[in-house]
Chain A
Amino acid sequence: MGDNIAMRDAFGEALLEAGKKNKKIVVLSGDLEDATRAEYFKKEIPERFFSLGIAEQDLLGTAVGLSLDGLIPVATSFAVFLTNRAYGILRISICYNKRNVKIVGSHAGLTVGPDGATAQCLEDFAITRVLPNLVVLVPADAVETKKAFKAMIDYKGPVYMRVCRAPTPVITDQSSPFTIGKANVLSHGQDISIIACGIMVEKAMVAAHHLVKDGINARVINMHTIKPIDKETVITAARETGAIVTAEEHQINGGLGSAVSEVLSTSHPVPLEMVAVNDTFGESGPPDQLLEKYGLTSAHIIESGKKVIARKKEKMKA
């Protein structure tokens, strides 16, 4: 594949670039700007950077205030602190009031690594997608992160975007499209669909490459928008391939897999297997070893793929 680049670095660069061009952008941080790379903006445009200290509810509330007169606030911190800790403010002050606040949750998922469970946000898709008026984005790599950030700024309304800490493979390029709510179909197999998001998209592609050897042609879909989910692409995939695997760096309850299963069960039920963290907290460790231990590798996608193909065959016999 491509180089390994951290999404958080790409975010930091995109934020600075956008902030230079658009004077309405202001940035808020919860004393983690060095880690989230919001400090790139802070160093060059300090007058539009506000640290709220370790106070995420205050951070999101202050962002709302800044948005009320047309500024575009970008609220930055770790995903776990912005979504979990400040959830009530996200719900009412931001979503219920439909404020134009952009929330970027960094260091999401297991690949935060050694910091361990308290930092590893594994439930942000579940709790954000359930809020009305909120768009939820999960870019697949550093290149897509910049496009997602641009789309986030252009969009009128509240948006949550998750980015990761560790360097991960770049699998998209400048020509790859990015439209909020429109999934990217990366390969066009007819035997099975693998709907993935974030760092799992690259693993889905590796899995698809291996499945060919078993005579299985997979359709790999980059579902970069968890909400609004691209129902059309999901239903088409169900109709044309008849078997689906979802893959996400997130809990099995309530995330991408659940969102896809909601679409399938109400429109076109087909066998579905989910690759996700199986309802457990994470722990300290190097990112790659954590992904292995918690079942988030291409090998796990391959295994789930074969399982769901077997279920599809059973269903066809019945």
Chain B
Amino acid sequence: MKRRSEEKKSVNIEELKEKARQFRKEILEMITTAGSGHPGGSLSSVEILITLYYYVMQHNPQDNCWPLRDRFIMSKGHASPIVYVTLANAGYFPKEELKTFRKLGSRIQGHVHIGVPGIELSTGSLGQGLSVANGIALGAKLRKAGFNVYCLMGDGEIQEGQVWEAAMTAAHHKLDNLYAILDYNKVQENGPVAEIKNEDPIADKWKSFGWHVIEVDGHNFNQLITAFDEAGSITGKPSIIIAHTIKGKGVSFMEGQSAWHGKAPTKPELDKALAELGY
């Protein structure tokens, strides 16, 4: 479905890049403070989340229940830090809360949690989000409500069979108000995806399931924006943006490393990472 406002939102790529740098800092800080978390898959999704919340989606941080808001389902729920950082910066809840990540009594739970303003669904058991996104999209069509649904998945995640059940459903029901994004960082918890359960040719798979497929460099804002614009013009079928990314992007000793899938940096490692980011 096309964006409701026909005028293209003017976008400053340099500002988005600066946000990306800042969000990487905040992700690493919150995980280090918590002593646990998933940096690799959070860092690979930074540009995707920023593009969604600062360009693509119609939403209102002051009214997270606005009926016509676009919905975002974070199916790869372990990468909660990037979602929490994005929502906090967008104004959904105070940034100070990020320090309470994973602490007892905090609503900033280890995996994405519905108790936080801006989050539509608690996730964490991979493979469940696309079905839910489909349901929202179906409901929107049934009620002729004009909003879109976006669902971010990981590449380890799409090894789950339910994802392919949902892929068939989306195509069968011609859900052109549904947009999936694949954070294709090619590394999962115990090694490269290609060594554990190869998914290539991944674009061909989604095409054969009846989806419109766009492949981009997942860290390039221009490509992401163009991709979402293209997806928004597709009718009669769902779209997936396969974002080629780097796990741990932005920190040289994390990039491409499965070891950093679910491990918190130590304070010295954090300092080293922040220095690389220019802090």
A: which residues have CB within 8 A of B? 26, 47-48, 50, 52-53, 55, 57-58, 60-69, 71, 73, 88-89, 91-93, 96-97
Residues A26 and B142 in contact in the complex (CB < 8 Å), given A65-B136, A68-B135, A89-B131? yes
Residues A57 and B135 in contact in the complex (CB < 8 Å), given A88-B125, A96-B122? no
- Chain B residue numbers with a CB within 8 Å of A89 are 128, 131, 162
Residues A61 and B131 in contact in the complex (CB < 8 Å), given A52-B169, A69-B139? yes
- Chain A residue numbers with a CB within 8 Å of B67 are 69
Contact with A65, one of B132, B143, B168 (Cβ below 8 angstroms): B132
Smallest CB separation, B128 vs chain A (Å):
5
A68 with B162: CB separation less than 8 A: no
A62 with B125: CB separation less than 8 A: no
Contact with B162, one of A57, A65, A67, A73 (Cβ below 8 angstroms): A57
B132 with A64: CB separation less than 8 A: yes
Residues A61 and B142 in contact in the complex (CB < 8 Å), given A89-B162, A97-B114, A97-B122? no
| Interface flag for B121 (CB, 8 Å) | yes
- Chain A residue numbers with a CB within 8 Å of B133 are 65
B131 with A58: CB separation less than 8 A: yes
- Chain A residue numbers with a CB within 8 Å of B138 are 50, 62, 65-66
A93 with B139: CB separation less than 8 A: no
- Chain B residue numbers with a CB within 8 Å of A92 are 122-125, 128
- Chain A residue numbers with a CB within 8 Å of B161 are 57
User: How far apart are the CA atoms of A50 and B130 in the complex, in Å?
Assistant: 16
User: How far apart are the CA atoms of A97 and B136 in the complex, in Å?
Assistant: 15
7 contacts between A and B (CB under 8 A): A55-B169, A66-B139, A67-B135, A68-B121, A69-B67, A69-B145, A97-B122
A61 with B136: CB separation less than 8 A: no
Smallest CB separation, A150 vs chain B (Å):
23
B162 with A58: CB separation less than 8 A: yes
| Interface flag for B199 (CB, 8 Å) | no
- Chain B residue numbers with a CB within 8 Å of A62 are 131-132, 134-135, 138, 166, 169
User: How far apart are the CA atoms of A121 and B101 in the complex, in Å?
Assistant: 41
- Chain B residue numbers with a CB within 8 Å of A88 are 125, 128
- Chain A residue numbers with a CB within 8 Å of B134 are 58, 61-62, 65
- Chain B residue numbers with a CB within 8 Å of A69 are 67, 136, 139-140, 143, 145
User: How far apart are the CA atoms of A113 and B145 in the complex, in Å?
Assistant: 45
- Nearest CB to that of B151 among chain A residues? A65
B: which residues have CB within 8 A of A? 67, 71, 114, 120-125, 127-140, 142-143, 145, 161-162, 165-166, 168-169, 173
- Chain B residue numbers with a CB within 8 Å of A63 are 135
- Nearest CB to that of A55 among chain B residues? B165
- Nearest CB to that of B73 among chain A residues? A65
User: How far apart are the CA atoms of A92 and B145 in the complex, in Å?
Assistant: 27
Contact with B132, one of A47, A55, A61 (Cβ below 8 angstroms): A61
Most buried by B among A47, A68, A88: A68
Residues A58 and B122 in contact in the complex (CB < 8 Å), given A65-B134, A65-B137? no
- Chain B residue numbers with a CB within 8 Å of A64 are 121, 131-132, 135
Residues A47 and B128 in contact in the complex (CB < 8 Å), given A64-B135, A92-B122? no
User: How far apart are the CA atoms of A71 and B166 in the complex, in Å?
Assistant: 20
| A-B contact sample (19 more), CB < 8 A, given A62-B131, A93-B131 | A53-B168, A55-B165, A55-B168, A58-B168, A60-B131, A61-B132, A63-B135, A65-B134, A66-B135, A66-B139, A68-B71, A68-B136, A69-B145, A89-B128, A89-B162, A92-B124, A93-B128, A96-B122, A97-B121
User: How far apart are the CA atoms of A26 and B141 in the complex, in Å?
Assistant: 13
User: How far apart are the CA atoms of A158 and B67 in the complex, in Å?
Assistant: 22
Most buried by A among B121, B127, B145: B121
- Nearest CB to that of A96 among chain B residues? B122
- Chain A residue numbers with a CB within 8 Å of B173 are 50
User: How far apart are the CA atoms of A231 and B139 in the complex, in Å?
Assistant: 39
- Chain A residue numbers with a CB within 8 Å of B125 are 88, 91-92
- Nearest CB to that of B162 among chain A residues? A57
- Chain A residue numbers with a CB within 8 Å of B131 are 57-58, 60-62, 64-65, 89, 93
- Chain A residue numbers with a CB within 8 Å of B135 are 61-68, 73
User: How far apart are the CA atoms of A133 and B77 in the complex, in Å?
Assistant: 21
User: How far apart are the CA atoms of A93 and B127 in the complex, in Å?
Assistant: 11
Smallest CB separation, A61 vs chain B (Å):
3
Most buried by B among A58, A63, A73, A89: A58
- What 9 pairs between A and B have smallest CB-CB spacing? A65-B135, A61-B131, A58-B165, A55-B165, A62-B135, A57-B162, A65-B132, A65-B136, A66-B135
User: How far apart are the CA atoms of A96 and B77 in the complex, in Å?
Assistant: 14
User: How far apart are the CA atoms of A60 and B132 in the complex, in Å?
Assistant: 8
Smallest CB separation, B149 vs chain A (Å):
8
User: How far apart are the CA atoms of A57 and B131 in the complex, in Å?
Assistant: 8
Smallest CB separation, B114 vs chain A (Å):
6
User: How far apart are the CA atoms of A50 and B169 in the complex, in Å?
Assistant: 10
User: How far apart are the CA atoms of A91 and B125 in the complex, in Å?
Assistant: 10
- Nearest CB to that of A50 among chain B residues? B138
- Chain A residue numbers with a CB within 8 Å of B137 are 65
